[in-house]
Amino acid sequence: MNDPISQLLAHRDVLLADGAMGTNLFLLGLANGAPGELWNVDEPQHVRAVYRGFVDAGSDIILTNTFGANVFRFTLHKLQGRVRELNVAAAALARDVADNAGRKVVVAGSMGPTGDVLAPLGTRTPAEAEEAFHEQAEALRDGGVDVAWIETMFAENEVEAAVRGVRRAGLPYVLTMTFDTGGRTMMGTRPSDAMRNAKALAAPPVAFGANCGVGPAQLLDSVLGIAQGAEPGDVIVAKSNCGLPVMGDDMKVRYDGTPQVMAAYARLARDAGARIIGGCCGTTAAHVRAMAEALAATTRGGPPTYEAIEQALGPIRKVTTRPDKPGTRRSTARA
């Protein structure tokens, strides 16, 4: 209960997280392929505007503009010497927006994967990854984040390295993993097993869930799977992509999920067991506002059926684990 997320959840059924950072920066002019973290110092007004947009839309949690701000990803852009600078800057901007929100807003330090497969399947060692995560976590802490937000993970050994690095920095953390259309992480872990693995860590997360992936329907499938591995009191996170990416006439990538779709997703995510709900790639402040309004206007219901999910959000094109019959699987792929 020492972390602010748990403190808020002690009095609230659901917390609303934010939406996408990268795609919103692209819409503001960030060049495709450019590291958005540079804008923490080069164009701070744009980063601040994205934070503020989410807060004004109702977000209780905002993630820092630091998803790829670890030394290994930064090396690809020759920024490896600026890890601390850019993480501190991102966190400080978010802290200022949160502190001026007029209500409690949690600042979460976004920490994505290193981009490498760790040994024994890859060449990067877990110890090297741990040091990279520790460097980033310390900078985020010093910039003013409340919690670390380890996200879009797919390998358990990298999760463990990230958690060790974050805990060395003294931060509580949230953990989310990404599950594909096969109902597993890229390394083959099922959602229910991923939940159990997270709870078995030496320092378990404040909350565990799923983010990114293919779209809202698939994300809800992952949430239902995670719920099968959860126990009373466990906090589940749902942070779905806003549909699928499409290229506009202006050559900017947008996602095809409407605010109405994301509102329906938010209601269903709560019914599926999530207590922290937000959006991932493509999710704008307009989507977050629609989600906030939908959650405020309704109450939690029972776990949704797959038929209800597909009716609201479209087909789940995968093999899924049915909540009504744990352990059985069916294909919902449709032409």
Q: What is the CATH number of the domain that holds 120?
A: 3.20.20.330
Strand (E) or helix (H) holding 109: strand 106-111
How confident is the model at residue 248, as a pLDDT? 79
In a domain, 124, yes or no: yes
Q: Provide the number of structural domains found in the chain.
A: 1
Over the stretch 235-275, which tens digit does the pLDDT of each residue have?
999 999 999 888 878 777 788 899 999 999 999 999 999 99
Residue position matching structure tokens 């310390």: 138
In a domain, 328, yes or no: no
In a domain, 230, yes or no: yes
In a domain, 320, yes or no: no
Range of the domain at 174: 4-302
In 3D space, the residue among 183, 203, 273, 192 whose CA is nearest the CA of residue 236 turns out to be: 273
How confident is the model at residue 330, as a pLDDT? 35
Whole-structure pTM value: 0.93
How confident is the model at residue 1, as a pLDDT? 59
Quote the CA–CA distance of 321 and 54 in Å, as a whole number: 33
Over the stretch 177-224, which tens digit does the pLDDT of each residue have?
999 888 899 999 999 999 999 999 999 999 999 999 889 999 999 999
Per-position b or e across 192-226, b if 16+ CB within 10 A of its CB: bbbbbbbeebeeebbbbbbbbbbbbbbbbbbbbbb
In a domain, 326, yes or no: no
How confident is the model at residue 331, as a pLDDT? 31
In the chain, the amino acid numbered 257 is G
How confident is the model at residue 318, as a pLDDT? 54
In 3D space, the residue among 1, 9, 2, 4 whose CA is nearest the CA of residue 275 turns out to be: 9
Contact 257, 241 (CB under 8 A): yes
In a domain, 25, yes or no: yes
Contact 296, 57 (CB under 8 A): no
In a domain, 219, yes or no: yes
- For the chain, residues with pLDDT lower than 70 are 1, 317-335
In a domain, 73, yes or no: yes
